[in-house]
Amino acid sequence: MLKRILIGVAAGIVVLLGYLGILYTRDTDLGDRTVTVIVQEGDSFARIAKRLLSEKVVTSRLMLVLPARLRDIDKKLTPGRYDFTGENSCRSVLNRLAEADFLRVKITFPEGLPIWRVAGILQQRLDLDSARVMSYNEDSAFLAPHKIPSLEGYLFPETYTFKWGV
């Protein structure tokens, strides 16, 4: 009798683990929709998980939260903008968060670009306040340590990679 109970319990555990494995790896298709999740400094994993679930990026709260805790992803969120599209699973979402696979924006600044145009490009591509960028051009406390009179002409013509929201 005890042997049958143990076999039944073991079979139940195997079925449960199999089901959890399916939930962890099953893809949810967002189709053409893109879901943007902004992780800010100090955000809780619970808030991010709630957003991922409400936007249907993933379908299992348990299989998002439990592995995140086991892998310490819930304590090591890297701030950034994470865009999710197409097919996603709890595993793929957690891997992106663990690897800090957030949006990075490449911007090329041509030679001779005036600072006001640089500020405009930064506003357009990174959603930064161009007036704030321009204020650094006249901020002596910011400029003094660099020993430059203004920012004009100190940005080399190059392609730069920025973290969105930097």
pLDDT, tens only, 5-24: 888 888 888 888 887 777 78
136-159 in b/e form (b: 16+ CB < 10 A) is ebeeeeebeeeeeeebeeeeeeee
pLDDT (0 to 100) of residue 33: 92
pLDDT > 90? residue 138:
no
Q: Of 17-26, 38-47, 71-80, 104-113, give the lowest mean pLDDT range.
A: 17-26
pLDDT (0 to 100) of residue 37: 93
pLDDT (0 to 100) of residue 83: 93
pLDDT (0 to 100) of residue 112: 84
What's the Cα-to-Cα distance from 103 to each of 39, 74, 98, rounded to whole Å? 11, 19, 14
State percent of the chain over pLDDT 90.
36
pLDDT (0 to 100) of residue 90: 93
What Rg value do the Cα atoms of the chain yield, rounded?
24
pLDDT (0 to 100) of residue 151: 83
Secondary structure (DSSP) of 56-86: TS-S-SHHHHHHHHHTTGGG-PPPEEEEEEE
pLDDT > 90? residue 55:
yes
pLDDT > 90? residue 3:
no
The pLDDT confidence band at residue 149, using thresholds 50, 70 and 90, is confident
